[in-house]
Chain A
Amino acid sequence: MSDILALAPRFGSNSGQSLTRRDGVAKVTGTATFAADNHPDGLLYAVYVPATIARGTVTHLDVAAAKAHPGVVEVITPENRPPLAGDPDSKPFMFAFRFEALQNNTVRYANQPIALVLAETFEAATEGARLLNPLYDAQQPRMGLDGDAPFTPESGGLGLPGTTVHGDIDAGHAASAQDIDVTYETPEQYHNAMETHAVVAQWNGDHVTLDIPSQAIVMQRGAFGYYFGIPPENVTIRSPYLGGGFGSKAIINGPQILAILAARMTGRPVKLMLSRDQMFGPSGHRGATRQRLRIGIDTDHRMTVLDHNSLATTSTFDTFVESAANASQGLYAAGALRSAHQGVRIDAGTPGPVRAPGEAPGSAALECAMDEMAYKAGIDPLEFRLKNYAETEPGTGKPYSSKALRDCYAQGAARFGWAGRPLAPRQMTDENGMLVGWGMGTALFAAPMFAAQARAVLRPDGTGLVETAASDMGQGAWTALAQIAADSLGLPMDRIEFRSGTSDLPDAGIAGGSAHTATAGGALHAAGTDAIRRLAELATGDPDSPLYGAGNAGVIARDGRLHARDDDTRSESFADIITRAGGAEVEGKGSASRTAEASAAHAMYSHGAVFAEVKVDPDLFQIRVTRLVGAFAAGRIINPKLTESQLMGGMIWGISFALHEEARFDQRTGRIMNADLAGYHIPVNADVSGLEVITVHEDDPHVNPLGIKGVGEIGITGTVGAIGNAIWHATGTRVRHFPIRIPDLLTGA
């Protein structure tokens, strides 16, 4: 490893530049091919029939009426559904969640598939689905956080958070001079990526090709192979572009499995794309949470205890409990620290990872509770956080791999103008008489790494080819990863070809956990470096090369040439080296992952500080976020423009969480009554004004060879709490649930 690092080509000629996303023009002109844009010959359209009850059984489907509709080709129900090799109710691998693929006539939640209609046109399939006119034996659904008795999940996997305790909780409570005991609630939220889930499936013998948006392109080969009884290599996944994923496109869902099954059953390609309302059911969501936070402080305002307990909704048939209380791990230097989780089983679909899973609702509650504690103690909320600044990871005592959070606080506060903020609420108004409030929150997100491989090839013409099966969900992987790859080869961007987004390439790992650039980028860097090492061997071992005898470690790659490290005039182009060596391509391979030792040695997080200003009408209580400043430290920044974009997107998601997003269930039927974008609100441009992102310089020698942390999710954390705190500061009304809406403030008036 150290040899390769020493050999590393000059890094930064492409990385660090604010390149415009390479897929941007294709996307805005409509030429980028998303999954549902594929229309192979003989295509059948599939529409799934969503259950309109949340609990019970389907007693009748009018299959004859649907089949009689012109254009309808087949109707698949539990009666005639061909067998699957893998049981949809099994959990054979880590990212497997139980799903509905017509294994029986039971309804476990509203909008689950109860039939699939295939037709020659989308319209015919849609009408066929309507004509099935299902009858049910419905039971009263269990709804909400009080819908059933809480249970404690078995810990140890995705969506299975346990209880983490550091220190003596009772002693921490006993030692407090002042304390708070507050409970916050957050609602069910749905991913709602702009591109709804889709698949175009084509079978050729026992090989299937899937055009499908995927956040885990290579990993999902094995998953699909499991359910269809074919080896992973018989599954080709093509996922060049995703219109957002937010966690939902790493998990297999029932409608997609049914469409693939239908393609095999009919011997024709089948396309299925969920309608917007169908996104509110079978493809995961964020469960509701009720979080109790107890904080104690001593007379010096140091936290003696941070005790965070979260109850979250999950389904009746599988377990994914939002790990909200874990947001209190890793951040503040409390003497005793507890994060505990419970779940409650209700008649809704199984939740899943949604952008900043656990962290988003957990941070919202934690940062508001911190604000409440600071106010009770009579000190500034930022000062309170600095007072409890963790120099090492709380509880574990591990050193941070890097932590520029103090700089984030300082730069964010300075840019925002935090100094001089009155401690008491309802002290500030603007020239129009609007109540003005300022709030802040700390942002935190872990910096994990998964495992990835990549390949890099230097061609005889001096250009490079690099490849890894990465997923570009809109975050800019096509661009940022290519920048890393180009640097690893010492080539300008226009002289490398970057292949990505299909499963026949080396595994880039899952695009999640804010770890994709670090993971896939790390593999690309290693592969490029390996190729350059091999090229250097050719040159330095060839008496005809000006670099002969320079030694592998003595050359550096730059702009398509190898240069002697100690004599810049000695150099030769990649093309000349390869041509003279016989013209064979030079191939490098690389991988990236984090060793257990590295994980044990350091605590690794991205950090940030978010400052919010809101204005609230004193009589009508309409709320407007007028300024948001976020300062983030996330290691090496590969592309400042894309990074800023990601952080901004996260902060806007924070506005959405704080003020808008909520699935509204009819408690009688268990159905979501605002299951479209007209009713499930997210912010529009007019809701986002004065948003500033600062990236704080941070060198991290430990997190990975390139020093990259993630920026995909951290923008949400901190922001929600900052807005909630600003609303309190403006109005004096502390609303302890999200979203915060006009009626909440009106009631407090």
Chain B
Amino acid sequence: MNLFDYLRPASVSDAIAAWQPGAAYLGGGTNLVDLMKTGALQPGKVIDIARLPGLDRIESLPDGGTRIGALVKNSVLAGDPDFAAAFPMIAEALASGASGQLRNAATLGGNLMQRTRCVYFQDPHSACNRRESGNGCGALGGDTQNHAVLGWNDACIATNPSDLCVPLAALDAVVETQGPNGRRDIAFADFHRLPGDTPERETALEPGELILAVRLSSNAAASYQNSRYLKLRERTSFAFALVSAAAALQLKDGRITEARLAIGGVAAKPWRVPAAEALMLGQPPDTDLFRRAAAVALEDATPSGNNGYKIDLARRIAARSLALAAAGTPTRMPALPASVFGESAHV
């Protein structure tokens, strides 16, 4: 790999002060280091933030919300009993991701910042508008089985690979950041960007801006009894989703009073469609209703290559996750998290 400077600042402000164009923040290193090894990314300066103080806590907020520090490890968050009880589908999404070793290293902030697994992005010898603006898209017309069916354009057809981000999107999480211009909150829906005219800008973060925490409101926890994350993949573990879905419902007197649905693996960001959620309000939970909601959620989908199967599959997993959410959150983490196999996967 290229020669680079390595810094380990003592504070968040030192880290931000050290940032300059071409620098990269290093968290758990589970993604950045791989990309540096292949040469896909060649930061001139690596700022190791993994040991910054105060960012590894899970806190209950006075307003009933929850605040998760950016450096909380995936395995720690998934294994926190209080957190898992309040946000079971987030815990399940985390537990379904990567492998045990990676979950022990990967951080919350890093998970939000992880790069697409588009092989043309990962391969430094392929054209990629994300790696370099105006470079072209090597994926378009290539091997596109894992690529987007929503929100893509000819500049970029990559998807966001995160499991965690799908339920975070569904639950309207808020991303707390600090940058050269101070602190701010970013709504999760605005955090990841569709390619548009600037595919190289994957998130709403400004240059040098650092994630401090993710907040979840008390209302986000209110669906804890009826929420589910499901992930489809051909290998039972250690594989990214072909498609996934996070569904959370609040039910009162046999009717749906709040519905949240986010779909993963289909776009450059977790996909939410307000109309699909609105359609379920006031209705009794029902398989046909969930099918219709899923159909609306995928209404705008078009294949970006040989990935038309994803549209049908995403509809099906969205409907299934809603049905499982309606049936009730499993009382404990399934042995195969987010899998359609196992005793907790059926309605």
Task: Please report A residues at the B interface, Cβ cutoff 8 Å.
Answer: 52, 70, 123, 126-127, 130, 277, 432-434, 615, 617, 619-620, 622-624, 659-660, 664-666, 668-669, 671, 673-674, 678-679, 681, 683-687, 739, 741-743, 746-747
Instruction: Name the segment of B78-86, B266-274, B337-345 touching the other chain.
Output: B337-345
Q: Is A432's CB under 8 angstroms from B345's CB?
A: yes
Chain B residues closer than 8 Å to A624, beta-carbon distance:
236, 341
Tell me, in angstroms, the Cα distance from A739 to B235 when the chains sit together: 12
Is there contact, CB below 8 Å, between A623 and B336? no
Q: Which of B2, B117, B339, B340 contacts A127 (CB 8 A)?
A: B2
Q: A666-B142, A668-B141 are in contact. Are A741 and B234 (CB under 8 A)?
A: yes
Specify which of A123, A432, A434 is in contact with B1 (CB 8 Å cutoff).
A123
B141 partner residues in chain A, CB cutoff 8 A: 668
- Report if B51 contacts A (CB, 8 A): no
Name B346's closest neighbour in chain A (CB-CB).
A432
Q: Contact between A673 and B236 (Cβ–Cβ < 8 Å)?
A: no
**The stretch of B255-263, B277-285, B310-318 that contacts the partner chain:** B310-318
Chain A CB within 10 Å, residue with most, of B2, B234, B313, B340 = B234
Known: A673-B120, A746-B309. A622 touches B341 (CB 8 A): yes
Contacts of A684 in B (CB 8 A): 99, 235-238
* Interface residue from B1, B120, B145, B340 paired with A622 (Cβ < 8 Å): B340
Contact between A127 and B1, CB atoms less than 8 A apart: yes
- Complex alpha-carbon distance, A659 and B145, angstroms: 16
User: Are B1 and A687 interface neighbours, CB within 8 A?
Assistant: no
Q: Which of B1, B117, B235 contacts A681 (CB 8 A)?
A: B235
22 A-B residue pairings within 8 Å (CB atoms): A123-B1, A127-B2, A432-B343, A619-B320, A620-B232, A620-B313, A620-B317, A622-B232, A622-B234, A622-B339, A622-B340, A622-B341, A660-B235, A671-B125, A673-B123, A673-B142, A674-B143, A681-B234, A684-B99, A742-B309, A742-B313, A743-B313
Query: Whole-angstrom distance from the CB of B120 to the nearest CB of chain A?
Result: 7
* Smallest beta-carbon distance B164→chain A, Å: 18
Q: Supply 8 further A-B pairs (C-beta < 8 A) apart from A130-B39, A622-B232.
A: A123-B1, A127-B2, A619-B316, A673-B142, A684-B235, A685-B237, A687-B236, A746-B313
CB distance B320 to A659 under 8 Å? Answer: no
Residues of A within 8 A of B239 (CB): 681
With a cutoff of 8 Å between Cβ atoms, the chain A residues found around residue B186 in the complex are none
CB distance from B106 to the nearest CB of A (A): 14
CB distance from B297 to the nearest CB of A (A): 16
A188 shortest CB reach to chain B, Å: 13
Q: Given A126-B1, A619-B316 in contact, is the A742-B236 Cβ separation under 8 Å?
A: no
Point out residues on B near A: beta carbons under 8 Å.
1-3, 38-39, 99, 117, 119-120, 123, 125, 141-143, 145, 232-239, 242, 309, 312-313, 316-317, 320, 336, 339-341, 343, 345-346
Residue of A nearest to B345 (CB): A432
A352-B233 Cα distance, complex, nearest whole Å? 31
- From known contacts A127-B3, A686-B336, infer whether A666 and B320 are also in contact, taking CB-CB under 8 Å: no
Residues of B within 8 A of A687 (CB): 235-237
Residues from chain B with Cβ under 8 Å of A671 in the complex = 123, 125
State how many angstroms separate the Cβ of A354 from the closest Cβ of chain B: 20
Q: A130-B39, A620-B317, A666-B143 are in contact. Are A683 and B309 (CB under 8 A)?
A: no
Query: Could you tell me if A747 and B309 are in contact, using CB atoms closer than 8 angstroms?
Result: yes
A668 touches B142 (CB 8 A): yes
Closest to B317 in A: A620
- A664–B341 CB distance below 8 A: no
Contact between B143 and A673 (Cβ–Cβ < 8 Å)?
yes
- In order of increasing CB-CB distance, the 6 nearest A-B pairs are A686-B236, A743-B309, A432-B346, A686-B237, A52-B125, A673-B119
Instruction: Give Cα distance in the complex from A687 to B341, angstroms.
Output: 11
Chain A residues near B309: list those with CB within 8 A.
742-743, 746-747
| From A130, A617, A622, A666, residue with most partner B Cβ within 10 Å | A622
Are the C-beta atoms of B234 and A615 separated by less than 8 Å? no
Closest to A110 in B: B125
Closest to A685 in B: B237
Nearest A residue to B34 via CB reads A678
Name the residue on B nearest A656 (C-beta): B235
| Chain A residues in 8 Å Cβ range of B340 | 617, 620, 622
Measured in the bound complex, the distance between the Cα atoms of B237 and A685 in whole Å is: 8
A593–B45 Cα distance when bound, in Å, is 62
Residue pair B341, A434 in contact (C-beta under 8 Å): yes
Taking CB atoms, residues of chain A closer than 8 Å to B120 are 673
A540 to B215, CA, bound (A): 89
Q: Give bound CA distance, A673 to B312, whole Å.
A: 25
Q: Nearest chain-A residue to B342 (Cβ)?
A: A432
A746: chain B residues at CB < 8 Å are 309, 312-313
Which residues of chain B are near A434, meaning CB under 8 Å? 341
Shortest distance in angstroms between A512's beta carbon and chain B's nearest beta carbon? 29
Separation of A545 and B99 alpha carbons in the complex (Å): 66
**CB-CB under 8 A for A615 and B341, given A620-B232, A681-B235:** yes
Chain A residues in 8 Å Cβ range of B3? 70, 127
Q: Which residues of B contact A664 (CB under 8 A)?
A: 143, 145
Min distance, Cβ A738 to any Cβ of chain B, angstroms: 12
CA distance A615 to B239 in the complex (A): 19
B143: chain A residues at CB < 8 Å are 664-666, 673-674
When distances are taken between beta carbons in the complex, the residues of chain A under 8 Å from B123 are 671, 673
Shortest Cβ distance from A352 into chain B, in angstroms?
24
CB distance from A585 to the nearest CB of B (A): 50
The complex places the Cα of A393 from the Cα of B278 at a distance, in Å, of: 69
**A123, A665, A666: residue with the most chain B Cβ atoms closer than 10 Å:** A666
Q: How far is the CA of A615 from the CA of B341 in the complex (A)?
A: 9
Could you tell me the distance in whole angstroms from the C-beta of A70 to the nearest C-beta in chain B?
8
B39, B235, B339, B346 interface centre (most CB from chain A within 10 Å): B235
Residues of A within 8 A of B2 (CB): 127, 130
Q: How far is the CA of A683 from the CA of B234 in the complex (A)?
A: 9
CA distance A686 to B337 in the complex (A): 11
Whole-angstrom distance between the Cβ of B345 and the nearest chain A Cβ: 7
